[in-house]
Amino acid sequence: MLSIFLKRLIKQGSLVVVYPDGQTIHYGHESSPAVTMHFHARSLPRKLLINPDLALGEAYMDGTLTVDQDDIYGLIELLVVNLTLQPNVWHYRWPAHLRRLYRRLSQFNPAGRAQRNVAHHYDLSGALYDLFLDADRQYSCAYFREAGDTLEAAQRNKKTLIATKLLLAPEHRVLDIGCGWGGLGLHLARDHGARVTGVTLSHEQHKIAEERSQTEGLDDRAQFLLQDYRDIDGAFDRIVSVGMFEHVGVPHYKEFFATLRDRLTDDGVALLHTIGRADGPGATNPWIANYIFPGGYSPALSEVLAIAEQSGLYVTDVEVWRLHYAETLKKWRNRFEANLDRVRSIYDEQFCRMWRFYLVASEVAFRHNGHVVFQIQLAKKQDAVPLTRDYLTIRERLDEPATNAGETISDGSIRATKRWFS
């Protein structure tokens, strides 16, 4: 049955499967360079037939599935490209439809469960993240303004663009929801004169963010709390959340946007940066949910805006980043592979294969399977931000933060907007 399915599926490229009994079958175009995978357990074809999204990753992790030259990227890309060409393959799609039926239950993330989910991924050894992230530990999509940008340059671009969209001025009070290891918050405090409060549920991230703030002498401007965002009090001129909304869960979207509304000053601006899907609402891949991001979900824009519209906030700008995360993940994957021996000194071989599969599958999803990044700007008032996006171009052209006293670029743009209306 699996062989029949593969014959129908592989229309582009070439796949060779060596079954447990030694039988070798070729699928697709024999003239194309083939990806060859080997099954080492008699139960594997049945598992792949019943739940391919889960079984493929598990088999690669435990070694019951191997690929010649360890070309797991070639295998996943081949399968995803062909599934994209045939989106209505019933046998493959029915588990996804079933997952959508109970996704609200799997994404129910009250505070206690949310902290356990965060710890599963973000409280791993810090040495692991040092081996594939940039020095600032930016664990979210970078922004490649030029094709030749390094990972470090692209991550700086991302932070600069976020600060620009926030229309930051010195002494602005900023809430950073899901602050990670503190890189963005420290950038906003150091380079833009903001007063930052960052919150995270990860003990490891909180410890490092606090240490970095003290080491850089910014602890009077940047504080980091081990706290759920729903428990934060006070008012903030700016709110930013990067790479955290994927952990909120659909049942909590109203709560999230209500928190933005309640914590934001009347003239405040918020920016939400999140992974999303361009092909409408769906469900999280079960392997990713089990092994990488429990409770996580990347939403469609229609799901986010439908709730934001009911929150009392104006959506003032939406930008879609398409292949930026694919390029980010490619650079992470190359660094991970280059440091594989050092990773093995921290974790076992099964973990290494799991992490490699995660980076590869994520990159392919952004390159071929409709995953993108959304940046959504929100405000309580329509005139809290300029009416055109010219202020983005001006700030990028000057390529300098607004840290001096007096009128900033954003201040002038907003005043001009208000004069125009009056």
At 329-358, the pLDDT tens digits run 999 999 999 999 999 999 999 999 999 999
Q: Are residues 31 and 179 in the same domain?
A: no
Q: Is 9 inside any structural domain?
A: yes
Model confidence over 353-405: pLDDT tens digits? Answer: 999 999 999 999 999 999 999 999 999 999 999 999 988 876 554 454 444 33
Q: Is 405 inside any structural domain?
A: no
Total domains in the fold of the chain = 2
Q: Are residues 54 and 147 in the same domain?
A: no
Q: Are residues 285 and 181 in the same domain?
A: yes
Q: Are residues 41 and 132 in the same domain?
A: no
Q: What is the CA radius of gyration of the chain?
A: 23
Q: Is 280 inside any structural domain?
A: yes
Q: Is 245 inside any structural domain?
A: yes
Q: What is the pLDDT along the chain (422 residues), one digit of tens a residue?
A: 999 999 999 999 999 999 999 999 999 988 788 999 999 999 999 999 988 999 999 999 999 999 999 999 999 999 999 998 886 665 555 566 555 555 555 555 566 665 666 565 666 888 999 999 999 999 999 999 998 999 999 999 999 999 999 999 999 999 999 999 999 999 999 999 999 999 999 999 999 999 999 999 999 999 999 999 999 999 999 999 999 999 998 889 999 999 999 999 999 999 999 999 999 998 899 999 999 988 889 999 999 999 999 999 999 999 999 999 999 999 999 999 999 999 999 999 999 999 999 999 999 999 999 999 999 999 999 999 999 998 887 655 445 444 433 334 344 444 433 333 33
Alpha helices per DSSP H over 12-102? 44-50, 52-62, 72-85, 90-101
- End-to-end CA, the chain: 71
DSSP state of 300: B
Q: Are residues 53 and 146 in the same domain?
A: no
Q: Are residues 168 and 213 in the same domain?
A: yes
Q: Are residues 147 and 294 in the same domain?
A: yes
Give the pTM: 0.88
Return the SS3 of 75: helix
Q: Are residues 152 and 291 in the same domain?
A: yes
CATH number at residue 249: 3.40.50.150
Q: Tell me the residue type at 294.
A: P
Q: Is 55 inside any structural domain?
A: yes
Q: Are residues 43 and 134 in the same domain?
A: no
Q: Are residues 66 and 192 in the same domain?
A: no
Tokens of 317: 């700008």
Last-in-domain residue among 88, 123, 144: 88
What region does 362 belong to: left with phi over 0, alpha with psi -120 to 50, or beta?
Answer: alpha
Q: Are residues 38 and 137 in the same domain?
A: no
Q: Which helix (H) or strand (E) holds 320?
A: strand 314-321
Q: Which residue shows structure tokens 């405000």?
A: 379
Domain extent for 213: 107-398
Q: Are residues 14 and 158 in the same domain?
A: no
Q: Is 100 inside any structural domain?
A: no
**Complete DSSP assignment for 373-414:** EEEEEEESSGGGS-SSTHHHHHHHHHT----SSS--HHHHHH
Q: Is 339 inside any structural domain?
A: yes
Q: Is 95 inside any structural domain?
A: no
